[in-house]
Structure 1
Amino acid sequence: MFCSILSRPFGATLVFLAGLGFLPVVSHAQTTEPTSTERVQIDVITTGLNYPWALTFLPDGRMLITERTGHLRLVTQDGVLLDRRVPGLPDIYVSGQGGLQDIALAPDFATSQRVFFSYSCGTEQANHLCLASARFVDDSLSEVQEIFRTQPAKAGSAHYGGRMAFLPDQTLLLTTGDGFDYREQAQNRTNTLGKIVRVEQDGSIPNDNPFLDQPEAAPELYSLGHRNPQGIVYDPITQQVISHEHGPRGGDEVNRIQAGNNYGWPIVTTGLDYTGAMVTPFQQRAGMQEPLWTWTPSIAPSGLAVYTGDLFPQWRGHLFVTALAGKALHRLKWTGNQILTEERLLVNLDERLRDVRVGPDGAIYVLTDSAEGRLLRLTPN
């Protein structure tokens, strides 16, 4: 059953005027909006999630939620988290940042009943980001098919990327991380580390992928030069692909993704290494795309949605970014050519936020990132 945060003793602090707090910014004439007059109500829909990573809405009003710890959970229309885990998942390598990650329904889910999900697979010394599809029937997964895995295998358990977005032609984009210790591979066109890849729903290669004329390039490549992109959407209003990625120490980015482009990592960045050392002397370089927006200090962006609902008409077309280190929901006013302003929401929760989605009801849904994760719903107050 839904539980409104407003009913709690500290709830008065959670019905708030938007625009609480600011982050230092470093480029592109970034500004933060003045305090909004809109008030937002936050309801707790579901509790008891173990490091939730992503959610998707089923046509019947229920929700599927992934847990990084390797489980797929089902939530009823009334917000009840079923005790039974959804069975049928393949073997998942759960360690560090690795585990079960994104989930999305096939565009023809009503007839195909297929879902797509990303996860880490393999062992500590040789693991990959994998992408699979399965049929979701009778609250179980069946006919699981792995359709893609990053190459080469890597050691360690960091920087997988793992977010998905369908394009209007029903091909699928998947973000992949650089593996942390393998950052130079983000510029290596022969592999799929630190890239955005594009595949058909059966894993085959679209015949118009941008690097097919380069025999040495991995045919799945759509863009390269990414560090750890954990947000990607196709914006139906502007008909553009937007992604964000973690920088190192500073230099988190929001990018407009176009086929064949190079986004610079690790040759170009505004961030420093974790030791404080310079990663590169370049913040710009010919042939490499500049970000639309950057954050320094890092906010650790982790989820991305474009608002297309009706409950908040003044926010239609805006981008929403959940932040882990920044512990906020960032609203970016996006025009299709540039990001104009930024506003931070949910700062009084003081919680790491993992994912954000726009529900079929027009509400904004947010997953918190913890061993006792929650699903929140934002509506106008």
Structure 2
Amino acid sequence: MTPAQSAALRNISLGEFVVLIAAMMAMTALSIDIMLPALPAIADAYNVLNENDRQMVVTAYVIGFGLAQLVPGPISDRFGRKSPLLVFLLIYAVASVLIVFAPSFEMLLLARFVQGIGSAGPRVVALAVVRDCFSGRHMARIMSYVIMVFIIVPVIAPSIGGALLLAGHWQWIFWLLFGASVLLLAWSGLRLPETRAEALRLPISVGSLVRDFKTVITNRVTLFYTIGTSAIFGCMLAYINSAQQIYADIFGVTDAFPLVFGAVACVLAVASFLNGRLVERLGMRLLGHGAVLAFILIAAVHLGIALTETEDIYLFCILLGANFLAFGFIMANFNAMAMEPVGRIGGTASSFIGCVQTCGAGILGYFVGQAYNGTVVPLLASYVAFGVITLIAALIAERGRLFAARWAPPNQPLPHDVADRTASAGSPAD
């Protein structure tokens, strides 16, 4: 961290900073996972007959979230991080109220789309703030701890949603989301430091936006690690879309669904903790690339078992948890490697990465969810396919080399694809 960056964080402890960034990023997980137990109730309320159409409550949010991420990044590069964050949180809060009073399923989906737009600000600003203050393996370590904290949300969110359903109505879930957004708005407004220096804020113009997005898109490392994370994130959204049906229809898990869903999600927290402890010593590439290979192998074995139709709930959760363990290593390190070369335009880069990741994953997850046929085969086949796509993307990013750390000799320029790194020359790029 530079002296200026250290000054930016002088009034907030590292622990509070990590928890606040995690809370910002967790808005998406909370917005999706807390209402999974309510999908049948929502479908009944609006007389939705096709069970797979319930998944649109998730997909509408994800598409709004993904598309909107193109906006807050460039704005936060120009006006600073805090103001755009607060505006988007306000949009989220208003959309949450609109969902409660939606007169039809179509209007509910529209309000969910707007809610997704509102959650784009916290996600983009969170990643940009971390990139403002950290780089290289330090950034990967911080991101690991952020992910570890925010994983608590998908672990407990379905249980909270289930409890609210037992106590009242599905609309209570969205009142809770409204309250969470207001709380985060107040916390960020009072405690989050402004990490975008005045000297770095450039006027917004069509030319500058085109130039900045061109810089991001034409950076091989950023582009292909973004494509890789989009594919692997598609595995997660495919699971989320069909999880309630898989557990209820195939394994007969209904009342215990929140507990089983949360128990499997706990593995992500373990992966993030381990990555945070190991990444500064072993490097992002060794951990990230190794995790991709493990992900493909585990998914292929799991698919083979599923095709024999001998799987039970215990084996399913164990193997799925193993995949999630690998997923945790992949996301933390691939996101850090994607952001590493483009720190100068961190907000714009975060917007691009978030948009491609979420929209790509949302589309992939939607089609896998719609392919649900009463078995886990479509889900596991997608895990193998998307894992291979992620591996290919990493190979292209690294010009065919896996596990290789990039070092910049002292007083020598960094490699061209990491040229505008803010870390000092002589430190490991990985």
TM-score (norm 1): 0.27
Q: Rg larger in 1 or in 2?
A: 2
Superposition TM-score, scaled by structure 2 size = 0.24
Higher relative contact order (CA 8 A, sep 6+): 2
The structure in which a higher percent of residues are strand is 1
